[in-house]
Amino acid sequence: MELTWRPLTLADVGEVNRLCAVAEETDRTGEHWDEEDVRQELSGPSVDLPGASIGAWDGSRLVSYALVIARDAAEPVHQPHVASLTDPEYRNDEVASVLTEWLVRTARSVHVRHFPDAKLELHAGAHENEHWYQSLLERGGFKQERTFVEMRADLSALPPAPPLPDDLVLAACEKRYDALVLDARNASFDGHWGSTWLSADEWAHRFRDSKDFVPDLSFLLLSPERDRAVAFVMSSFFEADALATGVRELHVNYVGTRTEARGRGLASALLAHTLEAARTAGFERSSLSVDVDNTHRALAVYERCGYRAAERNYGYVLPLS
């Protein structure tokens, strides 16, 4: 089998989208994409297509690709993330060997350009149904370090919502609060496994500038002076998923509370408020992902809000220094 390997460009968006659809028929991860989704992902501020992407082509057909995406910080370890997908017809030892060698070589190159003095470990995620990809990672030396549960809540059967606090201000996530929310996110997720500080550019790409962001269903609890975000819920709606499943699902990207305010039930109250607002807005279901080893008992918080475990994803790590 003679494949041509070259970096991806934005002109390849259509082929990447087609490959995502082909792989989903086998892997059944529940993720669906359209070309705008793919373009958005490949245009991220941390994505370096010329220097840190690769695609395998069989004639004009893209059959495999991989990305290595640098992080915004090394605290103290740089943890670039891997994204990769291969057409089921081309999942063989030859393609696996090329990919695993390329991932390690490219991760080292990306690392030298960004954080040459830090330690390096490569991170990857795999859905429980992505058996070939899991075997590829393990063949490359990756070890499964974490399990993440994808949870879903039926918005027609929500439990009673706990009251919101009367000493904080409830607000929708308007643009004027973006810096406050980012500061709260970076503070509240400090020390979480696999999480690093996010830049303003990366935050804007994920939310304010993203077509999927739902600011009217992303809520904050602010200090009385409105100069500090104490707790927050950030939400997105993926139209391609709704078209594929027929279900309008609000995905909750982040639920966070500043350390000094934990233990008051703020996360439960704000998330419950978000879910009730989503139901009123016509959404039928909500989803989120949680690390089962989260030290802040997040799994129990989400269960109290009506979420139940549905699927699993695994976090893989390859130390390279």
pLDDT band for position 168 (cuts 50, 70, 90): very high
Q: Which residues contact 167 (CB under 8 A, 6 or more apart)?
A: 224
pLDDT tens digit sequence for 220-270? 999 999 999 999 999 999 999 999 999 999 999 999 999 999 999 999 999
Instruction: Tokens 């460009």: give the residue.
Output: 9
pLDDT of residue 295: 60
pLDDT band for position 7 (cuts 50, 70, 90): very high
Residue 175 and residue 103: Cα distance in Å, rounded? 37
pLDDT at 274 exceeding the cut of 80: yes
103 in Cβ contact with 141 (< 8 Å): no
Record the tokens describing residue 148, joined without a space: 């993440």
Residue 251 and residue 276: Cα distance in Å, rounded? 14
Cα–Cα distances (Å) from 254 to 34, 54, 65, 110, in that order, read: 23, 30, 28, 27
Instruction: Tokens 């030892």: give the residue.
Output: 93
pLDDT tens digit sequence for 57-102? 999 999 999 999 999 999 899 999 999 999 999 999 999 999 999 9
Which one, of 269, 306, 288, lies nearest residue 154 by Cα?
Answer: 306
CATH value of 151-311 in 1.10.357.10, 3.40.50.300, 3.40.630.30, 3.30.420.10: 3.40.630.30
Is pTM beyond 0.75? Reply is yes
Residues of the chain with CATH 3.40.630.30: 4-141, 151-311
Residue 34 and residue 44: Cα distance in Å, rounded? 16
At residue 172, φ and ψ (nearest 5 deg) are -75, 160
313 in Cβ contact with 272 (< 8 Å): no
Superfamily of chain region 4-141: Gcn5-related N-acetyltransferase (GNAT) (3.40.630.30)
